[in-house]
A = this chain, B = another copy of it.
Amino acid sequence: MMEKADPSPAAIKAWARLMRVSRQLVERAEDALKDGGVPPLAWYDVLHELAEAGEGGLRPFQLIERTLFAQYNISRLLARLEADGLVEKLRVADDGRGQTVRITGKGRETRRRMWAVYGRSIAELVGAKLSNDDLETLSALLGRLRHPAMPE
């Protein structure tokens, strides 16, 4: 028997909105960062995770889990961050294959400057558009679309 799996009109509409709106919001946030003369969103994601992780730092594979970036992407992103002095890589004792990545003072400072811009974008693009209740509802609905194995 044939499996028929056409999405409902409501599903299509929600999907379309999600695709469009998220694309647009990302673009506007990236534009704001560019205008502010700070690095792009991807850098923020990594710096944020590393700042949360504290002095212990994180292994690259942990960053992959948390940020959903591809492995090669993280590898190169970290190389760029290191070249800019925003993170440092430390050999890790108990696993000769790996390393630990830690945010530097300059990294924290850059993150702060980025947040000044990024946070404002979030406030404008989302905070100013929906009430607190609506934001909670939205978060809850989106939460139900997460992949089972997704963090947070």
Task: Choose the segment among A87-95, A103-111, A130-138 that binds chain B (4+ C-beta atoms closer than 8 Å).
Answer: A130-138
Contact call B129/A145, Cβ cutoff below 8 A: yes
Contact call B142/A17, Cβ cutoff below 8 A: yes
Tell me how many chains of this kind the complex includes: 2
- Determine the main DSSP class of A at the interface with B: helix
- Smallest CB–CB gap between A10 and chain B, Å? 4
Contact call B24/A127, Cβ cutoff below 8 A: no
Contact with A68, one of B10, B24, B139, B141 (Cβ below 8 angstroms): B24
Contact call B135/A20, Cβ cutoff below 8 A: no
Contacts of A144 in B (CB 8 A): 129-130, 134
Is there a chain B Cβ closer than 8 Å to A76's Cβ? no
- Smallest CB–CB gap between A149 and chain B, Å? 10
Contact call A24/B146, Cβ cutoff below 8 A: yes
11 pairs, CB–CB < 8 Å, chain A vs chain B: A5-B119, A8-B132, A12-B122, A21-B146, A22-B22, A22-B23, A23-B68, A25-B145, A125-B145, A130-B145, A134-B144
